[in-house]
Structure 1
């Protein structure tokens, strides 16, 4: 039971340690994000009746297809499709053949009547009696098909037979040509008479002799016949194609449904109902969607904060920065969006890169990249023109690229001018994205529009750089966050504490410079903060200025004061210097990272010289009295300074520092720190220790390399 209780207590304590620095700030940030973006997704609903008057102009919050109106439109289009008919070529050829048969038969009858083909009955007769018209008609009817003679009146035959052959030939050509055109265009029951009338009109206004026109008009009633019949399959296919070409009737997001003062007609009322402006229950869904999005956003932020906490790089100042920077960036977006219009493109002027420029300097590059993505997503919601369910993808893409440009172009964060250089790079990327949008839109645009939007992009980059430079000291000082720019300021030799070391403990100053060089090189070899290690090494022995002559590097041409006091007194003086230094650093308000290095650079190591000296006269001496009280190094930088501090002092004591001796001393000190447990509380690995040992050796070999001994001048 006790074990279970202890386990529960441990888990509760662990949960509290996570809740306070991570979960609570993430929840606060999520609430703020939700409140800022709430009105961008929430749809206002209305309580109105048909035929009432609209009290305000109402826009559609969503894009939706009006199915009922689309069906009505489709029905009208389908009904307007004409019926499809098949023209029978067989009937056309048949009718033309009948007409040709009539004229060919008459021509043959004429040949017989002229005696060219007929027999001569009486050899003695000098002439042949020609047949009468009646006989010709009777003979013609014998020659023609029954389908013709049963329908055509004999009077038509009489008229055709009596017409001159040349006139009849011209009439035949015109009639057949006209007949083919009329029949090929299709003759249906309902337009049969109009087709006959068309034939008659062509005959009437032709240049034919009047003697042929009347029989041809009469012949039209026989020749023109129904040859076009309704085709069900073609008609259905035509209607189907027409229906497929109907564009859906769509109500676009942002489209005006009704203007202020207009009457709410049935159509308007149905549209309001369709887009959900009369249904209060539908309002909850966009809010749920926004809540889920905010949960994803703060989960990513919380995860990145947990990584910082795991690496012991998260403190209250950085938590406050994450909150303030996020609120500032999102707040600026929200304020600008209040004045933006769909065609205004004011989002181009938002200094969105400011947040990630600060984050890269005060946190790290990874966190800055994550924030750039999250700010871009939130920006696409904020600039959605208050249309629920829509995202302004142009704004989101623009915010992403302008922030990534800031992260990429801010290369040398040790130089404040680097921020202005990064601003120039951001401006170039912003202009490129603006041109990208204009060209992809495939619309005509004026030069003034291009210059205006490009100007917004330049203004965004300029404001991002200026605000970053202006806010950086505030976050560094007000929140106690240590940046590279701050470290560079502290590394200035004119800094009062560094001057104090130089003037009061010059040997310690030289020792600190050497430790700084070794520590920075070793930190950079394993990816730690080399600049922090350098500056921390500058100040790590500031406590020695309290009693500088009790430290051997400052004992120049004087006797060693430790020769006149007991080993325990010497140990007390030596052991106090890290904590004296920490008090001095706190008094001068130096960053806590520098203070911690000063306190931890000896860890809980043993003052072996004075311990064994005391043991010579006191056999029951306690080892704890000769150990530094700690704490042990908590960071990689503090651990490296701890090693380099001892290495520099040991190598400096060598009379002839060879490469073998240097490697032996470095290896022994690293092993001793490991065996003594001094590195147990810092996140340093064995592989990193190997790199540190190798780097320190290489650096020391470069410092203590062998020199050519120049010959002395001979005495004259």
Structure 2
């Protein structure tokens, strides 16, 4: 399968590979689930006898009944009126302005003239001119108040009054207007209020009879609505009242028509509404399922598209994820076929945590949580019972809680034994959830049913663990996946290769353990796989077991064989430990990630000591002959190990290491590798390199901290 993934990715990009297999899974999922979303239908005509007792297969709103109820409620809403006290003052001001205009025209009606003999004389404007002047002044009021217009005769009456009378009537009229309009006046009360004002005026003896009718006209004009219907608030209340109406629904499982009953127009309408007639060709459930599948596959696509990992690893994990998901759907379908023959919910036997446990063991928490969500949602569709047409929520929650518990439990340990412990905890979780479910249904269950549900909860949990333990080696082998559990096994000191390093090259073993500590801490700090870095460090120098004595950490007697051989031979021996180590690891069927670390941890760096030594003997020596063959580190883990390897060797050779000296050495090593281009082929950023430098310095300071000198 690993070869298949590699071959596919040689011809297409990872994005194309991702779209291809996610699309294929979407089609297979759609085909598998399609039969579970189609409801029952009946061939029935109006005014015939129903062949069966028909119950609604879903809960739907009855829009006709709902609209009738909303219309009734809306008609009962009282309109909202808003009283504006300022309107009375404004109308009184208009009345006052009318009289002020009259007074103004009268004051300007006298014209000062000079006679021929030089004696001043006064002439009064003709009444017609005064009427025109007054009409001109009242023009703005007449334009804004279309209901107001005094006749020329009424204007003459006003102009014919003396100023004192006009002022008195003005005050009476404005005060009366304010008095009448201090109370709310609606449109329905407008005539009554106008009549009330007229009554008050006519009873007032101070108003001259000649002026009474004009005063009444102006007064009646001044009375308007001051409590106006607030359409916005009223409409909002109507909407709120209508919104508060609970939709009238045909409930899931509700009897629409009983066997032998006449299918009248109302019953037929309800059957149409629930989509239970064969004459209704509806594609809604099919389209809905398509959208659900698209949503699921979009989440899968997004995760793998944004995942920062090598294309090869993403390709393998993608296939594993999709196979586990489809395997879950098949198991659900099998349980669904059996469930129809029993009165109890056989769906509770479904191995709820299997997919989550496998996904977590083979990849990471994020992907495991995504699997939990997809499995839970799909189980609610496939393992439906009774008349549920969308999701069987109790099954979905049952699967979701168990899966989440499994993911959290497996995050605490990477040993295979955790699968058994997790399955027991999942069984307990299932029991607690089923207790919640049975109590919330408030139904009476027999002892046989309670016993079944208890056994189902335990079997589901244990079956999840048993199947996970059985299937995990299959996925690891077929897809050559390096899981955390596999890494834990490889870190066991009893592993043959680790025993070989310990017995044949004890100095190298100690060096590897130190490098593992440094690399693990640094990788964790930058979000890389610390466990992979640790295990890879254990094996990265396995090639030194071929010629142990040629490596300084294994030279116990103080003799250095490099002193007696040419520098080019020394260089060949040192350089060979990377390729020979990779061959040894391949021979022992070690994971490719470990092999790559052994081959890449020196990249194409220069053996400077032997190159300089050879240069002293022959100035024409080629630098390339003294460089490791590479390749350069391809992953963050390999790059961090290369730094940790160099730092550990450099610091160990220092006589009196101090914090400042260690920091300087680490900085120089990282800067040297960076300038040499050793990090050009991995996605290690400068920010991450700074973190690596800081963590390695802290760890080395902890190892080489100053000790107090005890008295003899």
Note closer, same or farther for the CA distance 1:711–1:413 as it changes in structure 2 (3 Å cut): closer
Match of 1:17 in 2: 13
Instruction: State the match for 1:293 in structure 2.
Output: 292
- Cα deviations by residue, 1:564-611 (Å, 9 ceiling, x for unpaired): 443333323322221211121111111111111111111121111122
Tell me the TM-score normalized by structure 2: 0.66
In 2, Cα distance between equivalents of 1:493 and 1:605? 30
Task: Check the 8 A contact 2:548/2:554 in 1, yes or no.
Answer: yes
* Deviation digits for residues 335-392 of structure 1 (CA, Å, limit 9, x no counterpart): 1122225952222221121111221221111111111111111111112238584221
1:303 aligns with 2:302: yes
Gaps of 5+ in 1: 1-12, 75-244
Say if 1:320 and 1:507 are closer, same or farther in 2 by CA, change over 3 A. Answer: same
Asked whether the 8 Å contact 1:381–1:390 carries over to 2, the reply is yes
C-alpha distance 521-250 of structure 1, shift in aligned 2 (>3 A):
closer
Equivalent runs, 1:46-61 vs 2, <5 Å: 61=57
Q: Superposed, which structure 2 residues align to 1:139-288 within 5 Å? A: 250=250, 252=252, 275-279=274-278, 282-288=281-287
Are 1:286 and 1:388, in contact at CA under 8 Å, matched by a contact in 2?
A: no
Separation (CA, whole Å) in 2 of partners of 1:307 and 1:314: 13
Deviations 1:109-167 (Å, cap 9, x if unpaired)? xxxxxxxxxxxxxxxxxxxxxxxxxxxxxxxxxxxxxxxxxxxxxxxxxxxxxxxxxxx
**Partners of 1:648 and 1:514 in 2: CA distance:** 7
Shift of 1:502: 2.5
**Residues 618 and 256 (structure 1 numbering): CA distance in 2 closer, same or farther, change over 3 Å?**
farther
Once the two structures are TM-superposed, the CA of residue 58 in structure 1 deviates from its matched residue by: 7.5
2:456 maps to 456
**Contact 1:349–1:456 (8 Å) recurs in 2:** yes
Deviation (angstroms), 1:466: 2.1
Aligned to 1:177: none
After superposition, the Cα gap between the structure-2 partners of 1:437 and 1:310, relative to the gap in structure 1 and judged at 3 Å, is same
Match of 2:645 in 1: 645
Q: CA deviation at 1:292?
A: 0.9
* Cα distance per residue 1:540-575 (max 9 Å; x no partner): 011122233332223333743333443333323322
- The answer to whether the 8 Å contact 1:525/1:692 transfers is yes
Q: CA offset at residue 452 of structure 1?
A: 3.6
Instruction: Decide whether aligned partners of structure 1 residues 492 and 587 sit closer, same or farther in structure 2, where only a CA change above 3 A counts.
Output: same
Match of residue 600 from structure 1? 600
2:40, 2:633 → 1: CA distance?
59
Distance 2:520 2:247 in 1: 69
Query: Contact 2:61/2:248 (CA < 8 Å) preserved in 1?
Result: yes
Q: Deviations over 1:67-110 (max 9, x none)?
A: 99x89x99xxxxxxxxxxxxxxxxxxxxxxxxxxxxxxxxxxxx
Tell me the equivalent position of 1:635: 635
* Residue equivalent to 1:390: 390
State whether structure 2 residue 345 is matched by structure 1 residue 352: no
* Aligned residue number for residue 175 of structure 2: none
More off after superposition, 316-325 vs 47-56: 47-56
Q: Does 530-539 or 616-625 show the bigger shift? A: 616-625
Q: Residue 618 and residue 274 in structure 1: after superposition, are their counterparts in 2 closer, same or farther (change >3 A)?
A: same
Which secondary structure state, in structure 2, belongs to the residue aligned with residue 314 of structure 1? Answer: helix
Deviation at 1:48, TM superposition (A): 7.3
Contact 1:43/1:283 (<8 A) preserved: no
- Superposition map of 1:409-424 within 5 A: 409-424=409-424
The separation in 1 between residues aligned to 2:580 and 2:254, in whole angstroms, is: 68
Alignment of 1:268-667 (within 5 A): 275-279=274-278, 282-310=281-309, 314-341=313-340, 344-385=344-385, 389-445=389-445, 449-557=449-557, 559-667=559-667
Match of 1:130 in 2: none
Given that 2:304 and 2:314 are in contact with CA atoms closer than 8 Å, whether structure 1 keeps it comes out as no
Q: Aligned-pair distance for 1:465?
A: 2.0
Q: TM-score, normalised by structure 1?
A: 0.66
1:36 aligns with 2:36: no
Give the whole-Å Cα distance in 2 for the aligned partners of 1:439 and 1:60: 26
Task: Provide, for residues 16-57 of structure 1, a one-character-per-residue CA deviation record: whole Å limited to 9, x for no partner.
Answer: 313444212211221222122100113466667789999999
Contact 2:480/2:591 (8 A) holds in 1: yes
User: Which stretch shows the higher mean deviation, 543-552 or 276-285?
Assistant: 276-285
Whether the 8 Å contact between 1:40 and 1:387 is mirrored in structure 2 is no
Cα RMSD, aligned residues only: 3.7
Give the 3-state SS of the residue equivalent to 1:605 in structure 2: coil
Compared with structure 1, are the counterparts of its residues 285 and 673 closer, same or farther at alpha carbon in structure 2 (3 Å cutoff)? same
Is contact 1:34–1:290 with CA below 8 Å preserved after alignment?
yes
Structure 1 residue 330: deviation in Å? Answer: 2.0
**Offset, 1:291:** 0.6
CA distance in 2, matches of 1:56, 1:589: 66
Select between 32-41 and 458-467 the one with higher mean Cα deviation: 458-467
> Based on CA coordinates, which of the two structures has the bigger radius of gyration?
1
